[in-house]
C-alpha cells in the first residue's frame, strides 16, 4: 500500500478533522502515524496539523482530496495519552479539537518551515549526546546520591506523613495538601518527586514529574530549589516569557522524556510527557490557573483529569484551597493532607490585627497605627510589605467645578492616573492620553485625583520616611523583561526596607526578613456582585499575611529579656489590615487564621444560594458594536432548543459592558448535573455554529468571573 487517507486536526474554527491523501515518496516509506505533525495545504495556505487517524477511506470524494505536503518525521508522534487529554479538553470545553491541540504547541512546531525544529533537535542532541530517549534517564544514575539528600532538611512528621501518603501507591489519588503558609509545602513536593523518581528508576523505568505554579515570577525561586535538589536530572521550565527557541527546546525535552522535571505555568499542563508519574499543582486555588481566552480551561482541573487518565497521583497544594477542592476533600473525593505548623524552627504564624478605619482617619491612605508599625520595623532594620491591589496613582481624575470624570471613551471604565508616566491609562483597552492640564469641559486647572493606587502610596511613603528604601512592585514597575526578577532579588538581598505592591507581591515568595504586612483598604471586594470575590479576598489576604514571619524569630525583643511570655509575643510578625468593617466574618476568620471555618461558612452560603460547587455553570458571551444585537443573539440562543434540567438565565450586559468600543453581553446556563449540562452544551454549541452568525460569541465552561 503506498497511498493512505489520513485525518488531520487543524487550528480552524470548523469543528471537524480534515481528510488528506498521503503518498509514499519511495517504496517502503513508513506509513504516517497518529500523533505525527504534518504540513498540509489549507485554503491558499500551508499549515501544520496533527494526524488523528490513518486509514484507507474517506467520506469525501477521494479524488478531490489534497495531498499531505510533508510529515514531521524528525519528531516522535505525540503520544496517545496526550491526544486523549486534548480530546477531553475539546469535548469538555466545547472547542474544535484542532483549536486545542495546535495553540498549545510551541510556535516552532507549527511553522511551515522546519528550520526552528531542526535547529532545536540538533541543539538538544548536542547537549545530551548519550542521554537521548526516556530509557537513558533510568540508565544514567541510581537513586539520587547522598550529597543531594544532605541539602534537604529533615522533614517534620507532618511533611513526612504527607510525602508517605502521596507516594504510598502509584495509582491515581487526588491529594489536597492543605498547609498553612510557610509550612514547607515545597519540601513535600520535592521529596514526593524524589521518591517517585527513585521508585521508578529502581524498577528500570523513567519517570517525569510536572510541577505547576501560578505565576511566572515564582518559577525562578522554585527552579533554583529544584535544580539544587536534582543536579543530575534535566529540569526545564515552560511559560510564556521564554524565548521561542528556548520554549521549543524545553517542550521537546519534555516530549522526548528527557526532562525529568517540568516546571511551568498553566500552559504546561498540556505539555506532552510520555513518562509522567506525578503532577503537582502549587497554590491550586490561584485564579491564574484559569485561561481567560481561546480555550478557556482550568489547568488545575485538567491536571486532575490527566492524573486520573494516567492512573498516577496528583497533589493540589494551598493554604487556602479553592472552595471546589475543599468540597471534594470534605466528601472524600480528594484526600486531605494537613500541615498545621510553620516548618522553619521557631517560625510562627503572624499575629493579625485590624485597624478600624472609622476611628483612624488616614487622608493619605496610611493610618497612624500602620505608620507607627512601619517606623518600628525601620528602626529595627526589618522589612515591611504593603499590599494594595490597585496600580497607578489614582483610579480616576475628577473636576470639582463641573463634575467631569476621567471616563475612557472606548470602555465603561475610568482612565487611571499614572503620575510618573504623566499619563491617563485605561486598564481595559490600553488607551493612553497625556494628563490634561485643565478640565476638558470647563477649563478648571485644578483636577483632582480620586482614591489611591500604589504610586500614590509610594509617594506618601517617601515623604513619611525619606531615608527608607521603598520599592514598588506592580505591573507598571516591572514591564521590562527580567525587571520583576531583579526587584524580587533585591528584596531577598535585604536592599529594601518597605516593599509595596499589588497581588504580584502577595503570592508564594519566601521573604525571610519580613516582619510586617500592611493591607490597605481591601474592603471593596466585600460588596462585589461576583460571588467569588470573598473567597478570592480571603485567599489573597491569607497569602499576603503569609509572607510575614517566615524565618526563625530574628527580631530583637523589646524590653531586652528575651524570655517567653509577653515579650515573645512582641517578636512575632504582624499583619495589619485597614478596614471599615472589622466585624465582618471574613476578617474574623482571618484573625483566627481559620480557613476551615471560612470555607465551611462559604460552602453553606453557596449551598443555600445554589451556587457552584452545588451547581454547574457555563457562560455564553456575545460581542457587537451595539449592545442590542448582542442581547438579541443571546435571547435567540436561549430559545434555540429545549433544555430539560437546564436553567438558562436572561441575557444581561456584562459588568464592564463596553471594552475598546465593543459592547458585551452574557447568558448564564446552569444545571445541578454536570453530565446533563455537558450533553446540553454539546448540541447547543453545534446548533449555534450552524447559525453562522456574524456576531462574535464564545462559551466558557465553569466560568470564574461572572
Ligand atoms: P509554603 O510553600 O508551605 O508556604 P515553603 O515551602 O516556602 O512553605 O517553606 C517555608 C520555609 O520553611 C522555607 O524557608 C523552607 O526552607 C523551610 N522549611 C521547609 N521544611 C522545613 C523543615 N522540615 N525543616 C526546616 N525548615 C523547613
Ligand atoms: Zn470641569
Ligand atoms: Zn478603555
Mutate which of 149, 214, 224, 343 for ligand 1 pocket (most atoms within 8 A of beta carbon): 343
Cβ(389)–Cβ(381) under 8 Å? Answer: no
Cα distance between residue 586 and residue 643, in whole Å: 38
The ligand with the least distance to the CA atom of 430 is 3
What is the percentage of the chain residues whose pLDDT exceeds 90? 79
Residues in Cβ contact with 132 at an 8 Å cutoff, skipping those fewer than 6 apart: 125, 256, 258
Nearest-angstrom CA–CA distance, 551 and 547: 10
For the Cβ of 283 lying below 6 angstroms from any atom of ligand 1, the answer is no
588 near 581, Cβ under 8 Å? Answer: no
Instruction: List, as own/partner pairs, every contact residues 421-425 make where C-beta atoms lie below 8 angstroms and the sequence separation is at least 24, other chains included.
Output: 421/476, 424/397, 425/392
Q: How far is CA 479 from CA 62, 484, 485, in A?
A: 53, 8, 11
In angstroms, the CA 679 to CA 290 distance is 23
pLDDT at 562: 37
Ordered mean pLDDT values, 10 residues apiece, the chain (706 residues): 86 93 83 96 96 92 90 96 98 97 95 95 81 40 46 90 95 97 94 96 96 88 90 94 94 97 96 98 96 94 98 97 97 96 86 95 92 96 95 96 97 96 95 95 95 96 97 93 90 95 87 93 89 94 90 50 40 91 96 95 96 97 97 95 89 96 97 96 94 92 90
d(CA 163, CA 157): 10
Q: In what order do the strands lie in the sheet with 514-519?
A: 351-356, 574-579, 514-519, 383-387, 498-501, 470-473
pLDDT in tens, 544-587: 998 888 876 544 444 434 333 334 445 679 999 999 999 999 99
Atom 25 (ligand 1) nearest CA = 344
Q: From CA 506, how far away is CA 539, in angstroms rounded?
A: 10
Does the C-beta of 181 come closer than 6 Å to ligand 1? yes
- CB 454 less than 6 A from any atom of ligand 1: no
**Ligand 1: does its nearest atom lie under 6 Å from the Cβ of 343?**
yes
Average pLDDT of the residues of the chain? 91
Residue 384's alpha-carbon distances to 218, 377, 456, 499, 521, in angstroms, are: 20, 7, 17, 6, 17
pLDDT value at residue 563: 38
Print burial letters for 255-278: b (CB count within 10 Å at least 16), e (below 16): bbbbbbbbbbbbbbbbbbbbbbbb
- Indicate the Cα dihedral angle 291, 297, 299, 300, nearest 10°: 120
Nearest ligand to the CA of 427 is: 3
Ligand 1: residue of 177, 179, 182, 544 to mutate (most ligand atoms within 8 A of CB) is 182
Q: What is the pTM of this model?
A: 0.92
431 Cα–ligand 3 center, Å: 6
Q: Is the CB of 221 under 6 A from ligand 1?
A: no
What pairing do the DSSP bridges indicate for beta strands 470-473 and 447-450? unpaired
Ligand 1 centroid distance, CA of 217 (Å)? 19
Amino acid at each position: 500500500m503506498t497511498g493512505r487517507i489520513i485525518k488531520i486536526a487543524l487550528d480552524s474554527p470548523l469543528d471537524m478533522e480534515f481528510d488528506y491523501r498521503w503518498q509514499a515518496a519511495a517504496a517502503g516509506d513508513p506509513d504516517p502515524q497518529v500523533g505525527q505533525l504534518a504540513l498540509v495545504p489549507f485554503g491558499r495556505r500551508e499549515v501544520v496539523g496533527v494526524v488523528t487517524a490513518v486509514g484507507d477511506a474517506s467520506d469525501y470524494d477521494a479524488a478531490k482530496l489534497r495531498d499531505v505536503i510533508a510529515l514531521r518525521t524528525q519528531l516522535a508522534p505525540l503520544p496517545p495519552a496526550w491526544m486523549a487529554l486534548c480530546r477531553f479538553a475539546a469535548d469538555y470545553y466545547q472547542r474544535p479539537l484542532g483549536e486545542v491541540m495546535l495553540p498549545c504547541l510551541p510556535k516552532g512546531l507549527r511553522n511551515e518551515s522546519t528550520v526552528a525544529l531542526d535547529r532545536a533537535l540538533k541543539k538538544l542532541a548536542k547537549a545530551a549526546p548519550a542521554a537521548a530517549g526516556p530509557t537513558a534517564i533510568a540508565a544514567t544514575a541510581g537513586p539520587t546520591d547522598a550529597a543531594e539528600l544532605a541539602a534537604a532538611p529533615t522533614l517534620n512528621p507532618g511533611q513526612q506523613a504527607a510525602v508517605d501518603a502521596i507516594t504510598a501507591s502509584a495509582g491515581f489519588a487526588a491529594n489536597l495538601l492543605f498547609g498553612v503558609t510557610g509550612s514547607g509545602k515545597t519540601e513535600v513536593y520535592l521529596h514526593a518527586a524524589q521518591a517517585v523518581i527513585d521508585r521508578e528508576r529502581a524498577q528500570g523505568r523513567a519517570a517525569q514529574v510536572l510541577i505547576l505554579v501560578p505565576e511566572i515570577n515564582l518559577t525562578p525561586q522554585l527552579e533554583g530549589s529544584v535544580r539544587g535538589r536534582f543536579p543530575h536530572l534535566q529540569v526545564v521550565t515552560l511559560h510564556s516569557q521564554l524565548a521561542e527557541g528556548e520554549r521549543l527546546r524545553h517542550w521537546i525535552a519534555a516530549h522526548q522524556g528527557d526532562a525529568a522535571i517540568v516546571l511551568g505555568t498553566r500552559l504546561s499542563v498540556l505539555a506532552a510527557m510520555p513518562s509522567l508519574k506525578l503532577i503537582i499543582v502549587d497554590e491550586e486555588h490561584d485564579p491564574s490557573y484559569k485561561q481567560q481566552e481561546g480555550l478557556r480551561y482550568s489547568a488545575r482541573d485538567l491536571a486532575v483529569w490527566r492524573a486520573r487518565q494516567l492512573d498516577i497521583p496528583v497533589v493540589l497544594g494551598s493554604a487556602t484551597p479553592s472552595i471546589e477542592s475543599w468540597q471534594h476533600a470534605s466528601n472524600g473525593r480528594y484526600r486531605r493532607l494537613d500541615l498545621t505548623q510553620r516548618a522553619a524552627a521557631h517560625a510562627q504564624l503572624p499575629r493579625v490585627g485590624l485597624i478600624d478605619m472609622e476611628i483612624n482617619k488616614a487622608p493619605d491612605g496610611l493610618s497612624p497605627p500602620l505608620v507607627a508599625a512601619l517606623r518600628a520595623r525601620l528602626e529595627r532594620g526589618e522589612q515591611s510589605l504593603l499590599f494594595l491591589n490597585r496600580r497607578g496613582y489614582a483610579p480616576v481624575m475628577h473636576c470639582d467645578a463641573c463634575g467631569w470624570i476621567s471616563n475612557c471613551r472606548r470602555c465603561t471604565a475610568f482612565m487611571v492616573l499614572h503620575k510618573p508616566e504623566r499619563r491617563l491609562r485605561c486598564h481595559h483597552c490600553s488607551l493612553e492620553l497625556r494628563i490634561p492640564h485643565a478640565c476638558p469641559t470647563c477649563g478648571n486647572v485644578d483636577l483632582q485625583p480620586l482614591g489611591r493606587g500604589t504610586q500614590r502610596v509610594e509617594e506618601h511613603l517617601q515623604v513619611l520616611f525619606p531615608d527608607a528604601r521603598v520599592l514598588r512592585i506592580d505591573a507598571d514597575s516591572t514591564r521590562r523583561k527580567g525587571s520583576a526578577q531583579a526587584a524580587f532579588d533585591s528584596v531577598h538581598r535585604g536592599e529594601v526596607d518597605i516593599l509595596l505592591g499589588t497581588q504580584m507581591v502577595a503570592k508564594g515568595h519566601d521573604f525571610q526578613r519580613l516582619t510586617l504586612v500592611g493591607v490597605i483598604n481591601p474592603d471593596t471586594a466585600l460588596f462585589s456582585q461576583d460571588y467569588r470575590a470573598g473567597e478570592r479576598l480571603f485567599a489573597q489576604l491569607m497569602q499576603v499575611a503569609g509572607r510575614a514571619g517566615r524565618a526563625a524569630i530574628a527580631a530583637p525583643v523589646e524590653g531586652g529579656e528575651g524570655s517567653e511570655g509577653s515579650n515573645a509575643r512582641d517578636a512575632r510578625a504582624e499583619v495589619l489590615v485597614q478596614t471599615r468593617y472589622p466585624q465582618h466574618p471574613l476578617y474574623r476568620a482571618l484573625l483566627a487564621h481559620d480557613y476551615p471555618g471560612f470555607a465551611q461558612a462559604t460552602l453553606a452560603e453557596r449551598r443555600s444560594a445554589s451556587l457552584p460547587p452545588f451547581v454547574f455553570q457555563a457562560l455564553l458571551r456575545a460581542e457587537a458594536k451595539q449592545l442590542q444585537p448582542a442581547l438579541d443573539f443571546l435571547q435567540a440562543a436561549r430559545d434555540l432548543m429545549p433544555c430539560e434540567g437546564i436553567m438558562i438565565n436572561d441575557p444581561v450586559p456584562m459588568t464592564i459592558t463596553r471594552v475598546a468600543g465593543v459592547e458585551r453581553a452574557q447568558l448564564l446556563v446552569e444545571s445541578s448535573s454536570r453530565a446533563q449540562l455537558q450533553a446540553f452544551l454539546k448540541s447547543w454549541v453545534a446548533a449555534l455554529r450552524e447559525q453562522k452568525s456574524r456576531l462574535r460569541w464564545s462559551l466558557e465552561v465553569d466560568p470564574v468571573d461572572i
